[in-house]
Structure 1
């Protein structure tokens, strides 16, 4: 019985980590630096690091990043 509880706990933790590993965030701003600062603040609030996956500039900068633990 103890082995089953341990197995269920491991599966639950692995599932929650897997969901977080693919989380993306977005931000908009007037400059690349300002927009990246917003991304960095969001990642810090979530206790994660980030990797910018896209950025484009029309009237404003729009940036997308992937969070990793």
Structure 2
């Protein structure tokens, strides 16, 4: 009986921790500012803020970010 309670508790805690992860989004544009504007729009639509995790410029701008609450 004690083992079953432990398994249920561990499962519940695992499900709660997975729901707290930030959502990743990506965008591309002709400039880094344009790509960031797309990220900002996605964050605004989701009602969150964002943190840029990577950006590069090779024949266009590519950016990824995490939406955080």
Q: How high is the TM-score relative to the length of structure 2?
A: 0.71
User: Unmatched 5+ residue regions in structure 1?
Assistant: 1-10
Show structure 1 runs of 4+ deviating over 3 A. 14-17
Instruction: Give the corresponding residue for 2:9.
Output: none
Instruction: Give the corresponding residue for 1:30.
Output: 30
Whole-Å Cα distance in 1 between the matches of residues 22 and 37 of structure 2? 21
Instruction: Give the corresponding residue for 2:6.
Output: none
Whole-Å Cα distance in 1 between the matches of residues 18 and 46 of structure 2? 14
Please state if 1:40 is matched with 2:40: yes
1:1-69 map, 5 Å: 14=16, 17-18=19-20, 21-69=21-69
Whole-Å Cα distance in 1 between the matches of residues 59 and 29 of structure 2? 9
Output one character per residue of 1:10-50: Cα deviation in whole Å (capped at 9) or x when no partner: x6xx46741xx321000000001111000000000000100
Instruction: Give the corresponding residue for 1:3.
Output: none
Q: What do you get for the CA RMSD once the two structures are aligned?
A: 1.8
Q: How high is the TM-score relative to the length of structure 1?
A: 0.71
